[in-house]
A and B are shown apart, each in its own frame.
Chain A
Amino acid sequence: ETGVTQSPTHLIKTRGQQVTLRCSSQSGHNTVSWYQQALGQGPQFIFQYYREEENGRGNFPPRFSGLQFPNYSSELNVNALELDDSALYLCASSSPQGATKNIQYFGAGTRLSVL
């Protein structure tokens, strides 16, 4: 079990609403990445935050936004929810140095359902 925690576990929203998902990174990790995993698919990279700055973004529209805080925890915000946003949202933390360099450790995810 990793030290990455995500909240909430499950969430139900309606189309057009906004949602915030939260992630606490593993101790000592200053990098957080977010992925979207649709049912039956592999995860898709949304974006990454390193030391509170966005450090790469995947092919997701601007209504997907994020934050990283000084304690390296992170939020994923999605505005104007669409039905296709229903997915498992995964957070991963990593460190750019040390024995676990370049290894991403994942939380259990937040299951978002958009009705």
Chain B
Amino acid sequence: AQSVTQPDIHITVSEGASLELRCNYSYGATPYLFWYVQSPGQGLQLLLKYFSGDTLVQGIKGFEAEFKRSQSSFNLRKPSVHWSDAAEYFCAATAGNNRKLIWGLGTSLAVNP
């Protein structure tokens, strides 16, 4: 069955520290991969996406993600976290023409001053 796994439910980092949020997928073929961010009471904002090509993708707000086929992973990174980055982060995937997004359970990010 198709699935997306985010192993870390909650992460706390200090402001200015680097960040890596993990995402693993299980699909028959390489899916389209996405990272979204959700602030309290808000909808989901797209941070970045991977469809094909360069495996390191750049997104908004200084985020980047690296697709690794051998590890079935699509980890999100940021070199220096800001307090405003505190939010819930979701990894999602969809395969081919099936536009249904399958989601991980999310990682809640807290940022200490």
Contact = CB atoms under 8 A, between A and B. Distances in A.
Interface of A: 2, 4, 31, 33, 35, 40-45, 48, 55-56, 58, 90, 92, 94, 96, 102-109
Main secondary structure of the interface of B (DSSP, over half): strand
Given A42-B90, A106-B45, A108-B43, A48 B105 contact: no
A9 to B, nearest CB: 9
Nearest to B91: A42
A63 to B, nearest CB: 20
Interface of B: 4, 32, 34, 36, 41-46, 49, 51, 90, 92, 94, 98-106
A58 B103 CA distance: 13
A33 B94 CA distance: 13
B100 A90 contact: no
Contacts of A55: 99
Contacts of A92: 44, 101
A106 B32 CA distance: 17
Given A42-B90, A102-B32, A102-B51, A107 B100 contact: no
B42 A45 contact: no
Given A42-B90, A42-B105, A108 B42 contact: yes
Contacts of A31: 99
B101 A45 contact: yes
Given A41-B105, A42-B90, A42-B104, A106 B43 contact: yes
A43 B43 contact: no
Nearest to A31: B99
A103 B43 contact: no
B103 A102 contact: no
A40 B44 CA distance: 14
B106 to A, nearest CB: 5
Most chain B CB neighbours (cut-off 10 Å) among A2, A44, A45, A94: A45
Contact of A56 (B44, B98, B102, B106): B98
